Amino acid sequence: MKKLASVLSILMLLFVLSACGTKDEKATENVVAATAEQPEETSHKTIEVTDMTGQTLTFEKAPETVATLSSGDLDMLLALDIEIAGRPTVQGSPVKELEGITEVGNPHQPNFEKIAEVNPDVIIAAPSFKQHEANMERQGTKVIYTAANSVEDIKNTIGLFGKLFAKEQQAKTIQDTITNEIEKSISEKADAVKTLLVYGAPGTYMVALPNSLSGNLLELAGGENIASDFPNEEKYPQYASLSVEKIIERNPEMVMLITHGEPEAVKAAFEGEMLKNPAWKNLDAVKSGNVIVLPSHLFGTNPGTKVVDALEVMKESLGQVK
């Protein structure tokens, strides 16, 4: 009887275990089935960016081809290791890393034939390019607008590129480097030097205001912009008309010239223009020989990540006032 009871107990236990196993298997099958019914999750996310004009654009993925008309924007794109399909047209031979990349003109003279040939997903341009936006969109190219009227503008543009091309961490590293180097540089500012910033070419001159990049750098370097309250030009809000009378009245200690063209020719033409007014010779800046031409690659155009170098040049120039 005991043996029979033991056999029955064993059979009962096996039955219970078998039933439990069946329930577990069914539960697992139900979980698998439920999972299969769920739509597959995807890691794909659209990219939404707001450019420097406040325009918001959406991309299904990071653009694969990009062209730019500005050397400063090109510098920032290269710093982020972004492949360039079209670059600004330059005088002379390009640096080795740019050889073989199609030139597509500059902000003042875009080469639309070359842009169409490159056919980029995105073209990076200044707000003045907006008049050509519809033409670009018809050929399937979106336009991203940048700005470079201050150090903050340049840092924000780097952040914009980082988000657009899915290189946000790399962009933040560059932004932080610029911030740290700027803070280190301005920790020892030069003495306040009354300064006139003049932008121009032979026959055409404007005064740079504090809301221009050179004006911002002058302020960071500790200089005093004598034209800070000059009324700005409607078409060029970062600049004002050159008023010889006001300049003579405020008597700058330093005059800095900013130009795209040949520096010595611009300086000679500018001084020739100013000498038409006999009082010009009596300015402290002129009497002391403190009329200089700033490097065009740092001030005549957007310097990109080299904005720290531009600040150093500004500080050194102010420090040399006699």
Two structure tokens written together for 30: 């139900």
My answer on whether 111 and 132 are in the same domain is yes
Two structure tokens written together for 181: 């180097």
**Residue 1 domain-assigned (yes or no):** no
Pairwise CA distance, residues 46 & 59, whole Å: 6
Two structure tokens written together for 7: 């056999």
pLDDT at 97: 81
pLDDT at 7: 38
Contact criterion met (CB below 8 Å) for 124 and 115: no
Q: What is the CATH number of the domain that holds 311?
A: 3.40.50.1980
Pairwise CA distance, residues 140 & 285, whole Å: 52
Half-sphere exposure of 293 (CA within 13 A, CB side): 19
Residue 139 DSSP class:
T
My answer on whether 221 and 170 are in the same domain is no
Contact criterion met (CB below 8 Å) for 110 and 132: yes
User: What total number of domains does the chain contain?
Assistant: 2
pLDDT at 215: 97
Q: Which of 105, 111, 121 is nearest to 58 (CA)?
A: 121
My answer on whether 193 and 275 are in the same domain is yes
pLDDT digits 0-9 by tens, 272-322: 877 788 888 889 999 999 999 999 889 988 999 999 999 999 999 998 886
Pairwise CA distance, residues 80 & 92, whole Å: 25
User: Which residues in the chain show pLDDT less than 70?
Assistant: 1-44, 92, 189-190, 202, 322
Q: Which of 292, 298, 297, 271 is nearest to 195 (CA)?
A: 292
Residue 198 DSSP class:
E
Domain that holds residue 242: 189-319
My answer on whether 163 and 194 are in the same domain is no
**Residue 33 domain-assigned (yes or no):** no
